[in-house]
Amino acid sequence: MKFKVTMKDADTLYDAIQDAVDEQVSAMGLDEDEADALKERRREKISDLCGEWFRYGEYLTVEIDTDAKTCVVVSLKD
For residue 77, what pLDDT is reported?
A: 83
For residue 60, what pLDDT is reported?
A: 97
Does residue 59 fall inside a structural domain? yes
Smallest CA-to-CA distance from 11 within 54, 49, 53, 45 is with: 54
Our count of domains for the chain comes to 1
Amino acid at 18: Q
pLDDT tens digits for 16-64? 999 999 999 999 999 999 999 999 999 999 999 999 999 999 999 999 9
Domain of 69, in residue numbers: 2-73
For residue 11, what pLDDT is reported?
A: 92
For residue 74, what pLDDT is reported?
A: 96
For residue 78, what pLDDT is reported?
A: 66
Q: What is the DSSP string of 24-75?
A: HHHTTT--HHHHHHHHHHHHHHHHHHHTTTEETTTEEEEEEETTTTEEEEPP
Does residue 78 fall inside a structural domain? no
Does residue 33 fall inside a structural domain? yes
Q: How far apart are CA 21 and CA 63, in angstroms?
A: 29
Q: Is 25 helix (H, G, I), strand (E, B) or coil?
A: helix
For residue 21, what pLDDT is reported?
A: 97
